Structure formats: C-alpha cells, structure tokens
Amino acid sequence: MDTPYEYRNRDISWLSFNYRVLLEAEDAAIPIYERLKFMSIHASNLEEFYKIRVAEHRSVIMQKIHSDEDPAEAEHTLEEIRKEVTRQQTEFYRIFHEQILPELARQNIVLYMDNNLRPEHRSFADSYFKEEVFPFLQPLILMKDEVRIFIRDNRLYQVVVLRKKDTGERQYALLKIPYAKTPRFIELPPLDNQYYYMFAEDLIAVNLAFVFKGYEVEGSYNIKISRDADLYVDEIQTDKDIVETIKKRVKKRKIGDLSRFVYDRRMPADCLQYICETFAIQDDERIPDNNAHLNMEDLNKLPNPIGAELQLPPLKCLPVAALEGVKSVLSVVEKRDVFLHYPYHSFDCFIHFLMDAASNPDVEEIKITQYRVAPDSEVINNLISAAKRGKKITVFVELKARFDEENNLQTAALMQEAGIRIIYSLSGLKVHAKVALVSKKANFRGHKTAFAYVSTGNFNEKTAKLYSDMAVMTSQKTLTTELSRLFTMLETAHRDVSFNRLLVAQFNMVDALKMMIAREKKQAHQGKKAHIILKMNGLQDNWMIEELYRASEAGVKIDLIVRGICCLATDQPYSRNIRVIRIVDRFLEHARVWYFYNAGQEDLYISSADWMKRNLYRRIETAIPVTDRRIKRTIINTLQIQLEDNAVSTQVQIYRMLQA
C-alpha cells in the first residue's frame, strides 16, 4: 500500500498491551492474589501469541500458507518479537522475585524457589513424592535416532542429566510433569505461623535419585514447547461437511509445527545440543529462560491459605431500574429500550430475557448466534427449555471460534438432540456478531412484535463477570426487521440483502463508517466542532487508519480507547489531533463503541466489530445505533470518564519505553 503515512507493527503493538497487563502486577494497591492473576494472564497471553501469531510468521517463512506477508518481512518481525519478549520476560521475573515473592512472605506465605527445603519439609516432600507423584511418572531415557518421542504442546517437561555409576556413561532422560494427577503447587506443613508451598517440578527434582537408581543425577532442567494451534479454518472455502473438516483439524492442533522451544538457561551446552538434535529443534526456535520455572500461567493456581483479604471482593451488581420487580422482561422492552453494562449489571438480565421468551405463550421463535458459550451454559439450557415448550429455535453456531471449536461442536450436538435447528459456519467467513431475536405470533390485526438483543460480547455468563461489555434490548421495528433480514441471510447464505440502520460488515459497515468520518471532516473544514470517539479492542486496518489520519489533518478531534493492537502512529504531523489511550484494570475492556459528534446530533453505535481487517472484511459483524436519549447519554458519559482517567489509562505507544 503506497502511502505517506506510518503504521505500527501489529505484533509489537500487541506485545505492548501484554506488557501493560504485566505492569498491573507491580501495583501494590492491588491485593497480592490479584497481582498474581495479572502475571498469569501475561504468561497465558504470551503462550497463545506464540501458538497463533509466531506460528503464522513461521508458516509464511516456510511457505506453508498463503499470505500477503513477505518471508523476509516475517523473519524481521520474528526477530523484533524475540527482542521484545526477552525484555518482557526479564521484567516478569524481576517483578516476581523482587515484589511478588516478598509480598507473599509478608503475608506469611512462602513459595520455595529452589530445592533448599527446611529439614522439617524434606521428609514430608520425600513421602509425598513416593505416594502421590512417583506412581504417575514415566521416565524415558533419550536415545537419539533410535526412539522417537513426541513432546506435547504447552506441557512442562524435565530433562535430567545422568551418569551411569558403573560405566560413567552420560545419558539424558525426559520426565513429563504429571499435572493431571498432582497439583502444580504442593502444600507443605505450616511452620512458625507460615504457609509453605513448592513447585511440583522442584519436588520431583529433589527425589530424582529415587527415580533413577543406578545413576548419578548431575542436574535437571525444565523445558516446554509451544506448537502451531491455528487451524486456519477461516480459509475453509467449502460447505461440504464443514463439521468433519473442523473435527479433523482440531485433532491435528496438538501435533502442530513447533513455534518455540523454551528451556532453562542453566542447561549445559552439550545437553541443549543433544535435546535439539533429538527433537529437530532449530536455532531460531530456541528461547532461553532466565528462570528455572516455566509455564507461569499456573500462578493463578497458587493456593490462598489466608482467604478473601488477599483478593478483591466480588463485585456487587447494580440493579437495572427498568427491570426491577417486573415479571416480564419482554413487556418492558416492548415499551422502551433497556441498556446493560456488564459486569456492573448482572448477566441474569439476559437469562431472564430468554426465560421470559421460553415461557411466554405468544412467543413462537427465537434466533441467536453462538460464538463462545460457557461450560454448562445457562443460555443453552434456556434455549433447550424453550424448544421443549414448542418454540421454534434456530442457533447459528460458529465452529471457527478459535479454541472453542470442540465446545461449540458439543453444545450444538446437545441442542440438536433437543430439536433445535442448528446452522453451522458459512464457508469463507466467521460470524462474530452477538445478536438474538425473539418473535411473537401475529395478533388479531396481523401485527407481529419482535425483540432484539445486540451485544458487544458473547452470550457467556462466565466472561460476563470478567469482561466489560455493553448490550441493548430493543423492540424498535426498524432494527428488528433488519436483524430478521440478517438471520435470513445466515440461514440461506443469499447475499442480495440490504441494511440501513443496522450496520453489517461485508455489507454497509465500512461505507457507513467512512461516510461518518467524512461528515466530521466536512464540519472541521467549515470551522465547526468535529469530534470522533472510538472504543475498541484492536485497530489494525490501514484503510480505516488512513481515514482517521486524514480526518486529523482536517482538524477533527479524535479520541481513541484501544485496549489491544493499535497500528495507528501517534505523535506524527498527520495524527496531531489524535489521542490514543489504553485501559487495563480489574475487568477486560471489551466493548466496542463508536461516537460521531455530527453537528450536535451525536451519533452513537455499539458493535461486535474491532477495526481489524478480519472483522471488517472477512466476518459478519453488527453495529446498532443507540437512539434512546437516556442510554446514549449514559454511554457517552462512560466514554468521557474513561478518557479523563488518570489512574489505569496509558498512552498506547508505551512499548517505545521498552525499546529505548
């Protein structure tokens, strides 16, 4: 794309977001177990990043996938990623050792970081190992070129350096830490009013002589492997048995190509070389770790022996005034729009919406999209209940929701057994919209009433407690009619449909956004007030970023709240009127909200779509206009509060600090 504008690298930008997550662990005002949670999230995020983004770059280099990225560009990006990750890992362990462990100790919680146990604990550790761990160990002597061993993805292994006592011959062994049978953190007897824990791999390390009798144990070192977990399901262009295609690809995920090999930096060079040759690990796949303990996403599993005072108290949900004390949610929505802001409002409001639809004798049909649902989902249970009551239920199940493919297959089968009509993924695209439509029977005048629920987040009661999302319930006929049109398109795959008020990606969304940006530019050129506020998870599409650059050059004031990837370059002449902040706090900022001043009319949309290429051009996403004056003012006020925040918001280009 020939352009005078600059765009930030999406992967480095994402890593800056993950660094911001890590910084939360430094905040001494946050209870210690919440800080541990942020460290866990940082590590977990990084693992997924290697499974998807790094694996994709490697696939480009090996020319295994079709991509717009050049192999040389992919190699350069991987080198920048390696540098940034190395910096962040150094920071991770500095925070952990200098701040987290001392704070745990102040709370009388001791986490052993080596094998130097107190004598009182050593005998317990030996007994625990023999009774609870040893029966599940499967030690393997590595025999290069003779025995093929497969290292599983994201599992912790221990490489043991051995020497035969009778011959002096050196050998290497491999142990998989049996987390399925034993916890990652072993609780030891309390001493002197202190609680003690140790890593399972350390417990094993101090008992290796018991495992390898006849050998002298010279050392043990932890390793892990990350594998390509992207199924590349977005590329599926056929409708022929998409369920079987997804099932086959899910099975292959666990044996995907290697994307990184992480090892304890203390590992001797000859041992490292032997391991790499045995498992065909390339030099650029090796990532040394300064810490002996890997898979630190498990920090969220560290037991809390003290209790609630070391964690944040559960959030008490605010009442939704319009729904307080009412028997029928639908009767309220028939008269007025209802706004929900999770997790500050309870997801039970939507569950009651479904329950009301299931029990209302006048309701004949429910249609809904499924992207990610919770295990043992109340949403699914209520849909099944509605089907058993004779309602016509249609669920569009997106099988290509990454890491939720198996769960979606299982819940779809469950719903089918209950008589629910299931429509699976469309070929060549994902349906990411979060919409539901409830339709009543026609009354004696032939009039049919419908109720829509449109959200920025999934129909998932678990994430609704962790993610900050917005939703609107409405019976506005113009919106419910267009939403019905959208579901018809999903059911028939016919693309000759049009939308007016409802914005739908691949139909009218991009054109509508460009029109609204152009309108603000026109106002600015005329010397009038022009203002755009955009809140989203990711801003990556160069075409839309260019529209914002041009609006900035025209004098439009632009405020962006972008949690994750942001490829827009601030501090440039063409972005001088653009401010970008990132908010990372207790809840994951997940809502997408678009505001355009429009000469004082203040157009406002909530949406499922980020401004990423995949969202705008390869998925079905929706955005609805918020027209209720009270709801509009509530959302605008929320945006203003976030823009004025000086506690948890940061400038998006924070990663420059790391590279300085």
CATH label of the domain that carries residue 550: 3.30.870.10
490 and 538 share one domain: no
453 and 572 share one domain: no
Residue 309 lies inside a defined structural domain of this protein: no
How many residues can be counted in the chain? 660
What is the model's pLDDT at position 63? Answer: 81
Number of domains in the chain: 4
Cα–Cα distance for residue pair 264/219, rounded to 1 Å = 12
Cα–Cα distance for residue pair 505/637, rounded to 1 Å = 27
Last residue in a domain, options 453, 469, 497:
497
Residue 230 lies inside a defined structural domain of this protein: yes
What is the model's pLDDT at position 656? Answer: 44
Q: Indicate the SS3 state at residue 436.
A: strand
DSSP string, 187-205: EEEEETTEEEEEEHHHHHH
What is the model's pLDDT at position 595? Answer: 98
- The backbone region for 208, taken as left when phi is positive above 0, alpha when psi lies in -120 to 50, beta otherwise, is alpha
Last residue in a domain, options 464, 497, 530:
497
Residue 420 lies inside a defined structural domain of this protein: yes
Amino acid at 519: R
Strands (E), 44-182: 109-112, 140-141, 157-164, 170-176
Amino acid at 578: I
By CB atoms closer than 10 A (0-12, 13-18, 19+), residue 331 is: exposed
Residue 113 lies inside a defined structural domain of this protein: no
Cα–Cα distance for residue pair 175/159, rounded to 1 Å = 7
Determine phi and psi for 606, rounding to 5 degrees: -110, 145
Residue with tokens 């025995």: 147
Determine phi and psi for 522, rounding to 5 degrees: -60, -40
Active site residues: 432
What is the model's pLDDT at position 654? Answer: 45
The closest alpha carbon to 310, from 84, 31, 110, belongs to 31
- Strand pairing partners for 539? 566, 611
Residue 407 lies inside a defined structural domain of this protein: yes
For 629, the domain range is 509-659
Determine phi and psi for 417, rounding to 5 degrees: -60, -30
330 and 429 share one domain: yes
Cα–Cα distance for residue pair 438/350, rounded to 1 Å = 12
What is the model's pLDDT at position 336? Answer: 97
What is the model's pLDDT at position 659? Answer: 43
Q: Indicate the SS3 state at residue 622.
A: strand
CATH label of the domain that carries residue 23: 1.20.58.310
Cα–Cα distance for residue pair 513/511, rounded to 1 Å = 5
The closest alpha carbon to 207, from 137, 274, 267, belongs to 137
**How many H-runs (helices) and E-runs (strands) does the chain carry?**
20, 27
What is the model's pLDDT at position 329? Answer: 97
C-alpha distance from residue 575 to each of 14, 269, 633 (Å): 20, 49, 28
Residue 584 lies inside a defined structural domain of this protein: yes
Give the tokens for residue 124.
């317990």
The closest alpha carbon to 321, from 557, 600, 551, 631, belongs to 631
C-alpha distance from residue 504 to each of 255, 403, 435, 623 (Å): 37, 25, 12, 7
Cα–Cα distance for residue pair 565/17, rounded to 1 Å = 7
The closest alpha carbon to 357, from 440, 291, 448, belongs to 440
CATH label of the domain that carries residue 131: 3.30.1840.10
The closest alpha carbon to 222, from 159, 169, 136, 146, belongs to 159
The closest alpha carbon to 107, from 28, 186, 213, belongs to 28
Question: Rounded to 5 degrees, what angle do the CA atoms 530, 533, 538 make?
Answer: 140
293 and 158 share one domain: yes
Give the tokens for residue 578.
């653009």
CA dihedral 583, 584, 585, 590 (to 10 degrees): 80
Cα–Cα distance for residue pair 414/416, rounded to 1 Å = 5
555 and 592 share one domain: yes
Q: What DSSP element (H or E) covers 635?
A: helix 629-643
The answer to whether 639 touches 589, Cβ cutoff 8 Å, is no
The closest alpha carbon to 459, from 316, 574, 348, belongs to 348
Last residue in a domain, options 80, 107, 134:
107
The answer to whether 529 touches 597, Cβ cutoff 8 Å, is yes
175 and 288 share one domain: yes
491 and 523 share one domain: no
158 and 284 share one domain: yes
93 and 225 share one domain: no
Residue 631 lies inside a defined structural domain of this protein: yes
Strand 392-397 relative to strand 363-370: parallel, antiparallel, unpaired? Answer: parallel
Residues 6+ apart with CB under 8 A from 436: 353, 354, 366, 367, 368, 369, 452, 453, 459
Q: What DSSP element (H or E) covers 218?
A: strand 215-227
283 and 372 share one domain: no
What is the model's pLDDT at position 658? Answer: 42
- End-to-end distance of the chain based on CA atoms, in angstroms? 29
What angle in degrees, to the nearest 10, is found between the helix axes of 32-49 and 71-95?
A: 160
- Contacts within 8 Å (CB) and 24+ apart, 542-547: 542/1, 542/3, 542/7, 542/567, 544/510, 544/513, 544/514, 544/611, 544/616, 545/5, 545/7, 545/611, 546/3, 546/5, 547/513, 547/514, 547/517
The closest alpha carbon to 139, from 175, 163, 177, 171, belongs to 175
Cα–Cα distance for residue pair 297/39, rounded to 1 Å = 7
The closest alpha carbon to 216, from 163, 281, 283, belongs to 163
The answer to whether 408 touches 379, Cβ cutoff 8 Å, is no
The answer to whether 454 touches 484, Cβ cutoff 8 Å, is no
66 and 171 share one domain: no
98 and 148 share one domain: no
Cα–Cα distance for residue pair 187/198, rounded to 1 Å = 7
Cα–Cα distance for residue pair 364/442, rounded to 1 Å = 10
Residue 504 lies inside a defined structural domain of this protein: no
**Could you report the per-residue pLDDT of 407-461, keeping only the tens digit for each?**
888 999 999 999 999 998 777 778 999 999 999 998 767 688 999 999 999 999 9
The answer to whether 425 touches 397, Cβ cutoff 8 Å, is yes
Residues of the chain with pLDDT under 70: 1, 147, 232-240, 444, 446, 653-660
